[in-house]
Chains A and B, each alone.
Chain A
């Protein structure tokens, strides 16, 4: 699949996106390109429409206008075939893992395999599930546990295992490190980096976590005023002249994160 598309073609291409809730405008004329194989950090104040953007790309929400292309398919065309391709070739990790609470971890991870590759021998399927659970760094004993028996960090890892089980090209993460302790968050960042390199993933990463931005993101997009304010390498983005951007990247917490980065 990596060879099936020219390298320079973006995995996500959004043009003129419009999203409104009643009179409230969330996105106005938003355009965004995401390159293959990059980790794109998406930041913005609460309510700036990061999650709405993700839901629009995934086809969970129909925007009022604009065009969205993911993996070369038009998301808004509404064709079932296009949707299936996108569903199979993307993985999503929702904020709290969104694991099915009545299934244990192994069954959760196996769901996409059973749905999309029903002909797979069941022994091989179990081995694949086991592999993914190990890849995300969970002990095998968690396989038989229900989501309610796991800690928040473990639920996120289990959700990541489920998101990765079909070997997606494009991974969406909604605040993966929110609610994790700093050590757990750093380990999760590291895990993402490793998996991204090993599997050649493109990652659309919504985050509030400055440490994550500094540690693993190739590029950063700042969402404000209903559009992508600026996008680029972190060094360029943080010097962008806008009060929110300045406050975000040069506030006390950011300085602490940068200092920590330089110190390590």
Chain B
């Protein structure tokens, strides 16, 4: 092929640079290296011998011109390559905005600040959303006909009725595990009968409502976010607004009310299932008959434990449903955003439920309930 090196100073004219060969993306690295010298005294570039030129090669030429402070007219080029070089030169003219380089420490501080402010804004936004929903609820209660009964029933079915088998099986198994685990400890004191109190108290006060809330948070908060998020990204929410309807009334209230009705019922079911699990283990491996279990249960487990556990259910229902809906409203356009918001809503609702439950446990204990 061509024996001429890609870059050389013209032997006949020391002020002229001769370029030849292929100047394309594949050779760009090597060509850049070959050009990386101070070409003192060069005021002409002869690029007519260049066989193939693409925009990467043209970029290198334009950069060379910039370094040597030469004009485009001081390059001679085969006519086929002229438009490309001109286009690249034109595009390279305006100065780009160089992004600021950040140090690692500064980035770290920025992220800490960003996250802190984000947490604060998120809390404020959530509190505002609760207020907005409650005031919408109050307005709807004044005009009961505006409550969407069909949507309400649909959501009760989807969020609660459909979750019944899952929660029943889950709580039955955990009740059995608690009874089994407790009995091994209690057996060393010969006090296996206390399994009744163990299972009864733990499920009535804590596990029934907590397990229900966690399952519902995973199942329903994500569904709410995805539903509302998809509507948001298809501009359906905007359509609702322009039709003079209230998205809170139309989308949030039925979901929240459905959860308010459904979660306490599910909690009750979870308690029954958990205690049944404990009772099964007691009957099968501890020798406590169901009759004895129930008699003992009546004697030692007070009604207030049941009420305390159940009292938390509506609170969790509101928190989970509103986090799910709010995250849905925060979706911005893309499919990725729907995914991010869904994850965030599950994480947030499970975390809030557990934190609230811990706070309630401390409060109840201090009150001696």
Task: Name A's B-contacting residues (CB within 8 A).
Answer: 1-3, 101-102, 113, 117, 119-121, 124, 127-128, 130-132, 134-135, 140-141, 143-144, 147-148, 164, 166-167, 194-195, 197-200
What does the 1/0 interface line of B19-58 toward A look like (CB < 8 Å)?
0000011101100100000000000000000011011100
Decide yes or no whether B344 CB sits under 8 A from chain A. no
Q: How far is the CB of B124 from chain A (nearest CB, A)?
A: 24
- Residues on A with C-beta less than 8 A from B336 are 101-102, 148
| CB pair B334 A121 closer than 8 Å | no
What is the minimal beta-carbon distance from B265 to any residue of chain A, in angstroms? 40
Asked if A132 and B29 make an inter-chain contact with CB atoms under 8 angstroms apart, the answer reads: no
Binding site secondary structure of chain A:
helix
Q: Does B115 contact A (CB under 8 A)?
A: no
Tell me the bound Cα distance from A142 to B5 in angstroms: 39
Report the separation of the CA atoms of residues A135 and B88 in the bound assembly, to the nearest whole angstrom: 7
A143–B97 Cα distance when bound, in Å, is 10
Query: Within the complex, which residue of B88, B334, B337 is in contact with A131, where a contact is CB–CB below 8 Å?
Result: B88
Given the interface pairs A131-B59, A199-B54, the reply to whether A121 lies near B86 with Cβ below 8 Å is: no
A135 with B97: in contact, given A101-B335, A119-B29, A124-B29 (CB under 8 Å)? no
- Minimum C-beta distance from A82 to chain B (A): 18
B55 contacts A131, C-beta separation under 8 Å = yes
A135 to B54, CA, bound (A): 13
Could you say which of A113, A119, A147, A198 contacts B87, with CB atoms under 8 Å apart? A198
Complex interface: chain B residues within 8 A of A166 (CB): 25
Whether B335 and A144, one on each chain, are in contact in the complex, defined by CB atoms closer than 8 angstroms, is no
The 0/1 profile, CB within 8 Å of A marked 1, for residues 75-100 of chain B is 00000100110111001101011010
Task: Using A119-B29, A124-B28, A195-B87 as known contacts, say yes or no to A148 and B55 having CB atoms under 8 A apart.
Answer: no
CA distance A120 to B56 in the complex (A): 11
Query: Which residues in A have their C-beta under 8 angstroms from that of B97?
Result: 140-141
Complexed CA–CA distance, A195 and B332 (Å): 33
Known: A121-B32, A131-B92, A194-B87. A167 touches B25 (CB 8 A): yes
On whether the beta carbons of B28 and A120 are closer than 8 Å, the reply is yes
Task: Select one of B29, B54, B63, B83 contacting A197, CB under 8 A.
Answer: B83
Nearest-neighbor residue (CB-CB) of A166 within chain B: B25
**Interface residues of B, count at CB 8 A:** 32
**A167 and B24 form a contact (CB under 8 A):** yes
Bound together, the chains give a CA A197 to CA B28 distance in angstroms of 22
What are 28 residue pairs bridging A and B, where the CB atoms are less than 8 Å apart in the complex? A2-B52, A2-B80, A113-B25, A117-B26, A121-B32, A128-B56, A130-B96, A131-B59, A131-B88, A131-B91, A134-B92, A134-B94, A135-B87, A135-B88, A140-B96, A140-B97, A141-B97, A144-B99, A147-B334, A148-B333, A148-B336, A148-B337, A167-B55, A167-B56, A195-B87, A198-B88, A199-B55, A200-B80
CB distance from B36 to the nearest CB of A (A): 10
A113 and B91 CA atoms in complex are apart in Å by 19
- Whether A132 and B96, one on each chain, are in contact in the complex, defined by CB atoms closer than 8 angstroms, is no
- Closest Cβ of chain A: how far from B77's Cβ, in Å? 13
Q: Across the interface, which residues of B come within 8 angstroms of A148, CB to CB?
A: 332-334, 336-337
* Cα distance A120–B25 in the bound complex, in angstroms: 8
Binary contact track B247-290/A, C-beta < 8 Å → 1, others 0: 00000000000000000000000000000000000000000000
| Partner pick for A167 among B54, B92, B337, CB 8 A cutoff | B54
Q: Residues of A contacting B332 with CB < 8 Å? A: 148
> Looking at B25, B59, B334, which has the most chain A CB atoms within 10 Å of its CB?
B25
Min C-beta distance of A113 to chain B, whole Å: 8
Given contacts A148-B336, A198-B86, 7 further A-B contacts (CB under 8 A): A101-B335, A124-B28, A134-B92, A166-B25, A167-B55, A198-B87, A200-B80
Q: Which residues in A have their C-beta under 8 angstroms from that of B83?
A: 197-198
Identity of the chain B residue whose Cβ is nearest the Cβ of A147 in the assembled complex: B334
How far does the Cβ of B71 sit from chain A's closest Cβ, in whole Å?
19
Q: In the complex the two chains form, what is the Cα distance from A131 to B58 in whole Å?
A: 10
Chain A neighbourhood of B86, CB < 8 A: 198
Which residues from B are CB-within-8-Å of A195?
87
Contact check, A101 vs B56: say whether CB atoms are below 8 A apart. no
Q: In the complex, which of the residues A117, A144, A199 contacts B84, with contact meaning CB atoms closer than 8 Å?
A: A199
Which interface residue of A102, A127, A132 has the most chain B CB atoms within 10 A?
A: A127
Nearest CB of B to A132, in Å: 7
CB distance from B55 to the nearest CB of A (A): 5
Assembled-state Cα–Cα distance A134/B56 (Å): 14
Q: In this complex, what residue of B is CB-closest to A1? A: B52
Closest 9 CB pairs of A and B: A198-B87, A167-B54, A134-B91, A198-B83, A140-B96, A148-B334, A198-B84, A135-B91, A101-B336
- Contact among B26, B55, B84, B96 with A128 in the assembled complex (CB-CB below 8 Å): B55
Report the minimum CB–CB distance from B65 to chain A (whole Å): 14
Q: Across the two chains, which residue of chain A brings its CB closest to B98?
A: A140
> In the complex, what's the smallest C-beta–C-beta distance from B341 to chain A, in angstroms?
13
Within 8 A of A (CB), among B310-369: 332-337
